[in-house]
Structure 1
């Protein structure tokens, strides 16, 4: 199950994501609710309680990798 940690106080919200594919914590934010794993070079997006995974193709387009993971492995809570 993907790990998602959150710390909140009146000023700070910190979220740490573990890649559901390679389990790396070397994940960087590339946009609003969009992340990139430097361990296995996939993009992830967070929406409606699910992590969606995508492979970046040579032309820059994204191909879904969601069929490789069980839905329960893609769930996160805030």
Structure 2
């Protein structure tokens, strides 16, 4: 059975056992379904420092969508 064929409840159980944001990001990248389910969570569960790093990283690469995702979940980027 494919991971994509599992019921949502099982996918949520798998996600709840992931150890890091990198693991969640890896899961998200495997399927559009998982992107819809978990993309917001990936950005919401970050510290201010992590958001600042992500925004700077995305700006250097021209990834406007990533910047918008951070800002949409309440990230505040303060210039120092």
TM-score by length of 2: 0.22
Q: Which has the higher helix share?
A: 2
Larger Rg: 1 or 2? 2
TM-score by length of 1: 0.22
